Amino acid sequence: MCGIVGVLARAPANQTIYDALLLLQHRGQQAAGIATDSDSVFAMHKANGLVTDVFRTRNMRSLRGSAGIGHCSCAAYGPSCDEEAQPFYVNAPFGITLAHNGWLSNGDALRAELSLAGRRHMNTASDAEVLLNVLAHELYVACRGMDFTAEALFEAVGALQSRVQGSYAVVALIAGRGLLAFRDPQGVRPLCLGMQPPDDGAGVMVASESVALDGMGYGFVRDIAPGEAVFINAAGELEASQLAADAAARPCAFEFVSLARPDSVIDGASVYAARLKLGELLAGQVCSELDAAALDVVMPVDDISRPAAIQLALKLGVKYREGFIQNRYPGRSFDLPAGAARRAPGLRLNAIAAEFKDKRVLLVEDAIVDGASSREIVELARSAGASYVALASTAPPVLQPMAYGVDWPARRKPAALGRTREEMRSAVTADALVFQTLPALKAAIASASPALQQLETSCFDAPQANT
């Protein structure tokens, strides 16, 4: 999961991109980068760390120009070096810099193909560098020795879509020409378009989530459609082309469960409304598996699960309380030698003991991935005095460690992989464990936007059965 943003305006773009990345920081805290274009000269700064750590005044002053792209990334494959941070750059044809959110299922095959047939060398393991080189190659072919045109650019993106498999939302700058944005034919990862009013500069922004548009004063225009490419030239003129004949919206369900901010709207669906419905439907599952009347209190584990927990408590008629307080400034987690002490869970959450003492508590979590954090949370509730701790997940069991559209580090083996429900309950040390059903998850998201009848749910769809 990553956050991307692209801006083309009349004023300097660096501060706007920086502020938009702050609004998208929840999508990735591993690395950040910005590239800008000033009179066909690119400037770029990127490094590991939070947005506020990566950029200093001297860096921002060097990022000149009224067009630019930005990226914040998560650690999908564990620790990385600064060179793996995005955006990436190639000088031919025309000069392109690109940032990407997603995961390529044929990335390794493309890398080998580009090296052997295209004579293109890639210096990192990043899928974004693969995408950039595929785009550069196809744009070179599409121009056929002629000058740049929007039609040639769209032809290149169409050829890219026929070669690349997986999920991708992309922003790119073509030096001196303009800003490009496109999505994969299934629209697994979100990308939306916004514009400033003419009186405010008539700038254009594309971003992973609508919250970035809202915060920066860009009015939401629409989502970029699955399989569509949008190009805004240096004069601010927008052209769009639907390039995939078989395009169909199939956004990642995890965006609505936990990845996106609740104040965002993705493919016409309010994330907040979807999470409220997840809580409402989860209440029915809780009633079918537990004695709800015996519960004293319902509590969210964190901010993400709060909307669902509130609605669940209302449906059950059980008191809602805030039992955990999040530490929003936990600092960096360093790569330490084997055997080094694990960071204490209290650095992330602290329990209000009075809310737990002698209570029968139902904790609500957005999803249970590897089970380690869930176990720590249950133990924290017990240490605070809870007499009974049940755990309810707004998502079904996660059955695959690396799903199409959701890519976790390999070290995080899903708790549900190869385990029965009782074994999972024992692993997280809860007195009871309740999961949302997959049909209920799909129904909750569809309730926020009836057009979303298909979703990317492969992480919940592994063939094994859990009883």
71 belongs to a structural domain = yes
Q: Tell me, what's the pLDDT at 335? A: 46
Q: Tell me, what's the pLDDT at 449? A: 94
Whole-number average pLDDT of the chain: 90
- Are residues 435 and 354 located together in one domain of the fold? yes
DSSP letter assigned to residue 4: E
Q: In what order do the strands lie in the sheet with 67-73?
A: 41-48, 31-38, 67-73, 2-8, 204-207, 192-195, 219-223
285 belongs to a structural domain = yes
Q: Could you tell me if 85 and 34 are in contact, meaning their C-beta atoms sit under 8 angstroms apart?
A: no
Tens digit of each residue's pLDDT (9 = 90 or more) over 403-457: 555 555 555 677 777 788 999 999 999 999 999 999 999 999 999 999 998 999 9
CATH number of the domain to which 441 belongs: 3.40.50.2020
Q: Please state, as a whole number, how many other Cβ atoms lie within 10 Å of the Cβ of residue 265.
A: 22
Sorting pLDDT into bands at 50, 70 and 90, what band is 362? Answer: very high
Residue 225 reports pLDDT greater than 80: yes
In one letter, which amino acid is 388?
Y
- Are residues 437 and 387 located together in one domain of the fold? yes
- Are residues 355 and 422 located together in one domain of the fold? yes
Q: Tell me, what's the pLDDT at 79? A: 45
Does pTM top 0.85 for this prediction?
yes
178 belongs to a structural domain = yes
Instruction: Mark whether 2 is an active-site residue.
Output: yes
Choosing from 2, 74, 252, 459, the catalytic residue is 2
φ, ψ of residue 294 to 5 degrees: the values are: -85, -5
Q: For residue 271, what are its two tokens?
A: 């994330």
- Are residues 435 and 391 located together in one domain of the fold? yes
- Residue 155's alpha-carbon distances to 135, 138, 145, 227, in angstroms, are 10, 8, 15, 13
Residue 349 reports pLDDT greater than 80: yes
DSSP letter assigned to residue 296: -
- Are residues 353 and 208 located together in one domain of the fold? no
- Are residues 78 and 225 located together in one domain of the fold? yes
Residue 160 reports pLDDT greater than 80: yes
- Residue 409's alpha-carbon distances to 14, 17, 123, 401, in angstroms, are 31, 28, 21, 8
Q: Tell me, what's the pLDDT at 467? A: 38
Q: For residue 248, what are its two tokens?
A: 């169909």
CATH number of the domain to which 164 belongs: 3.60.20.10
- Are residues 63 and 181 located together in one domain of the fold? yes
Percentage of the chain modeled with pLDDT above 90: 77
- Closest C-alpha among 283, 353, 343, 344 to residue 323: 353
- Are residues 240 and 316 located together in one domain of the fold? no
Residue 336 reports pLDDT greater than 50: no
Q: Could you tell me if 172 and 155 are in contact, meaning their C-beta atoms sit under 8 angstroms apart?
A: no
Give the lowest-confidence range in 13-27, 64-78, 199-213, 392-406.
392-406
Domain-terminating residue out of 217, 248, 279: 248
Tens digit of each residue's pLDDT (9 = 90 or more) over 89-140: 999 999 999 999 999 999 999 999 988 887 888 888 899 999 999 999 999 9
User: What H or E segment, with its residue span, contains residue 44?
Assistant: strand 41-48
369 belongs to a structural domain = yes
294 belongs to a structural domain = yes
Work out the average pLDDT over 230-239. Answer: 96
For residue 383, the Cα-to-chain-centroid distance in whole angstroms is: 33
Exposure on the CB side of residue 453, measured as CA atoms within 13 A: 3
Tens digit of each residue's pLDDT (9 = 90 or more) over 392-406: 999 999 887 555 555
Q: Tell me, what's the pLDDT at 115? A: 87
* CA-based R_g, the chain, Å: 23
In one letter, which amino acid is 177?
R
- Are residues 103 and 194 located together in one domain of the fold? yes
257 belongs to a structural domain = no
User: What H or E segment, with its residue span, contains residue 45?
Assistant: strand 41-48
Give the lowest-confidence range in 222-231, 323-332, 393-402.
323-332
467 belongs to a structural domain = no
Which range in 110-124, 288-302, 318-332, 446-460 is most confidently predicted, on average pLDDT? 288-302
- Are residues 75 and 117 located together in one domain of the fold? yes
The Cα 341–Cα 131 span in angstroms is: 39
Residue 302 reports pLDDT greater than 60: yes
Domain-terminating residue out of 200, 215, 248: 248
**Maximum distance among all Cα pairs of the chain, rounded to whole angstroms:** 76
Domain-terminating residue out of 248, 283, 311: 248
Work out the average pLDDT over 219-232. Answer: 97
Q: For residue 410, what are its two tokens?
A: 């390999």
Residue 156 reports pLDDT greater than 60: yes
- DSSP per-residue codes, 65-111: SSEEEEEEE--TTSS--GGGSS-EEE-SSS-EEEEEEEEETTHHHHH
**Where in 243-401 does DSSP place strands (E)?**
265-266, 269-270, 297-300, 319-320, 324-326, 349-351, 360-365, 388-393
- Are residues 241 and 361 located together in one domain of the fold? no
Residue 292 reports pLDDT greater than 80: yes
Instruction: Please state whether beta strands 319-320 and 297-300 pair in parallel, antiparallel, or not at all (unpaired).
Output: parallel
340 belongs to a structural domain = no
Q: In what order do the strands lie in the sheet with 388-393?
A: 319-320, 297-300, 360-365, 388-393, 432-435
How many domains, in total, are found in the chain?
2
Q: Please give the residue range of the domain that contains residue 210.
A: 2-248
Sorting pLDDT into bands at 50, 70 and 90, what band is 242? Answer: very high
Give the lowest-confidence range in 43-52, 75-84, 308-317, 374-383.
75-84
Q: For residue 122, what are its two tokens?
A: 């890639």
Sign of CA dihedral 452, 456, 459, 464: positive
Q: Tell me, what's the pLDDT at 462? A: 61
If phi > 0 it is left, if psi is from -120 to 50 it is alpha, else beta; for residue 183 that is beta
Residue 224 reports pLDDT greater than 90: yes
Q: Could you tell me if 185 and 226 are in contact, meaning their C-beta atoms sit under 8 angstroms apart?
A: yes
Work out the average pLDDT over 366-392. Answer: 94
Residue 343 reports pLDDT greater than 80: no
Mind spelling out the 3-state secondary structure of 356-376? HCCCEEEEEECCCCCCHHHHH
- Are residues 176 and 63 located together in one domain of the fold? yes
The Cα 297–Cα 322 span in angstroms is: 10
The Cα 26–Cα 406 span in angstroms is: 15
